[in-house]
Amino acid sequence: MSSAPQGLHDGKSAQHPRFHRQKQVLIGSILIAGLCSIIYELLISTTASYFLGDSVRQFSITIGVYMAAMGLGSWLSRWVNGNLLMAFIAVELVLGLIGGLCVPFMYLAYAYTDLVQPVMLLLILTVGTLTGLEVPLLTRLLEHQDILARNLSNVLSLDYLGALLATLAFPFLVLPWMGVFQSSLVFGLLNIGLGLLNLWYFAPQLDLSRKRLLGWSGAMVTSFLVVLLVFSQGLLSHWTNSLYSDRVVHREQTPYQTIVLTQYKDDIRLFLNGNLQFSSVDEYRYHEALVHIPLSQHEAPRRVLLLGAGDGMAARELLKYPEVQSITMVDLDPAVVRLARTDHRLAELNQGSLDDPRVTTVAQDAMVFLKESDKKFDIILADLPDPNNVSLARLYSREFYRLVDMHLAPGGSFTTQATSPYFATKAFWSVHASLAAAGFERVVPYHVQVPSFGEWGFVYASHSQRPLKPEEPSVQTRFLDNTTFAEALTFPRDLKPTSPVEVSSLDDPTIHDYYMDGWTYWH
């Protein structure tokens, strides 16, 4: 026969000082529990974004499933009877275990299976359901301390406060200091510690046999997570290496992305969030096409703006021109620029370009920089990541290109990398359409073959009336000449869209859909 639900009274007066302390412990517990739960969800969605791309979709799925799972947990709480303290402590221990292992589970799923999305959904559902149990249990535990309305306001307000603290701490403290892998283990331990603290504090009110069971369970789970935390760097290196075909020589988590550098013999490769940025074997093809084609069309390019290009390769090519007096490079993540300066492999590849006195680096979002700056440039080059999420898609929008146009000096031009016209045909031609819609009078697409990327595209835009004419670069190049320049301007039939493409805008980022449709098909 089950006993009646147990609160904090145990036959004593709810006004006793000890019961006020017990209330404070439980109220403080919900603050920490709320913080941990939100951190788990942020970790899951961030890790899914790294592995699957499309961060807006991953965070939207997380929020929706999490809220629904919390509702499920609240509904299930009606069948929790008996010792509510024991139930609450058990929930915290299980939540700490699942939350602590959420990122390791996702790493395992990505490295060894094709089940990242199902694992993600299962983790969100589990964490959300357990979180949904917390508030009803605490409210019932406190029912003899105060009236229901006050209990609910206390519990919910601190739960929401914990969520606020989590969302503020995650991008500014948690991710930069620990990364996603260690963060999940640390907050799992915090959650389990919360359960063990309640187990110790309320020990006199708990059944001895169940208390021992929870105590031993908490100790075992804590030991397991501590061992994982101690060996986390080795495990992370092993799993990271399993994600890349070549040896990982540098891995770094920043507030913006995961930076990975790999090496196989003389092939150095840079990955941002798992997406290849360049291979040292053939990067010169890409950067020569990006830089020398637009510069060959300008009589005296003195001031150049680079958007992205934090690896220093584009700056290396620009510095070949003695007439270039200043290069302003705007890259969101200062860690990429720092790595390009300090890593001997990258510094050798970019020939120390970022330490040249003509180069000024700015750690800022490209769109924000254009909104705040009043400078004009003869040449603007965009070497930005592909539009694989909505945030990046805005950097390929009509409105962004209008901002670019406002910063061009008379006779100036703009050139952007525009993903692959073969793998993501509509995305490429959407860049072309969006530049035309932004008001540029001359918009010229071109493409080159980069073996590590495949067929890759660029779009040149200016207000000049003169056609884009193939010319021999005035500086030394390894790939680009009159012949390859002329070939770059010619598009075979299979690189052209078979149906009209739409302009991408801030309100309707169609390029993101085009990009995801194209690359998802090939992947």
Q: Reading across the β-sheet that carries 326-331, which strands appear in turn?
A: 359-363, 326-331, 303-308, 377-383, 408-417, 454-462, 442-450
Q: How far apart are CA 481 and CA 51, in angstroms?
A: 38
SS3 244: coil
CB atoms inside a 10 Å sphere around CB 363: 16
Tokens of 248: 């990982």
Q: Per the annotation, does 405 bind a ligand?
A: no
SS3 382: strand
Q: Per the annotation, does 331 bind a ligand?
A: yes
SS3 93: helix
Q: Per the annotation, does 366 bind a ligand?
A: yes
Q: Per the annotation, does 257 bind a ligand?
A: yes
Q: Determine if residue 464 is left, alpha or beta; phi over 0 gives left, psi from -120 to 50 gives alpha, anything else beta.
A: beta
- Residues annotated catalytic, as ranges: 383
CB 304 within 8 A of CB 381: yes
Q: Per the annotation, does 365 bind a ligand?
A: yes
Q: Per the annotation, does 287 bind a ligand?
A: yes
Q: Which residues contact 282 (CB under 8 A, 6 or more apart)?
A: 450, 451, 452
Render 430-496 in DSSP notation, one character per residue: HHHHHHHHTT-SEEEEEEEEETTTEEEEEEEEES-SS-------SS--SS-SHHHHHHHT---GGGS
Angle, in degrees to the nearest 10, between helices 116-141 and 84-100: 160
CB 377 within 8 A of CB 328: yes
Residues annotated within a binding site for S-methyl-5'-thioadenosine: 257, 331, 365-366
Please give the annotated binding residues for spermidine, written as ranges.
Answer: 287, 311
